[in-house]
C-alpha cells in the first residue's frame, strides 16, 4: 500500500485523532466507574466520525479515482435512474 494515499488526508487524520481522544476519555471514565463520562467519551468518538465525514465532503479527503479492471481497462458505470431521460 505504499503507492496509495490510503488515509493520508487531513480528514482522515482529524477524524481518527478525535476518535482516539474519545476512546481515551471513555476508557479513563470506565476505569473510574463514571458512566456519564464514559458515554461522553463515546459521543466524542462519534463526533470524530462526523467531523471526518464533514471534512471529506468539503474536499479534504481522498479523491475518488475511476475504477479499472484487472487488465487496466475502465469499468463502465451506469447513471442514476433519475439521470436517464
Q: What is the pLDDT of residue 43?
A: 97
> What CA–CA distance (Å, rounded) separates 38 from 30?
6
Say how many Å lie between the first and final Cα of the chain, rounded.
Answer: 41
Per-residue pLDDT tens over the stretch 19-44: 999 999 999 999 999 999 999 999 99
Q: Does pTM surpass 0.75?
A: no
DSSP one-letter code for 59: I
The ranges assigned to domains in the chain are 15-57
Residue with cell string 471514565: 29
48 Cβ neighbours under 8 A, 6+ residues apart: 14, 15, 16, 17, 18, 19, 20, 21, 22
Amino acid at each position: 500500500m505504499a503507492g496509495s494515499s490510503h488515509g493520508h488526508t487531513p480528514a482522515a487524520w482529524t477524524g481518527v485523532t478525535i476518535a482516539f481522544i474519545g476512546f481515551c476519555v471513555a476508557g479513563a471514565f470506565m476505569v473510574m466507574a463514571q458512566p456519564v463520562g464514559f458515554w461522553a467519551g463515546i459521543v466524542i468518538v462519534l463526533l470524530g466520525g462526523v467531523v471526518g465525514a464533514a471534512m471529506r465532503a468539503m474536499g479534504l479527503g481522498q479523491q475518488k479515482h475511476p475504477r479499472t479492471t484487472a487488465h487496466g481497462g475502465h469499468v463502465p458505470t451506469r447513471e442514476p435512474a433519475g439521470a436517464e431521460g
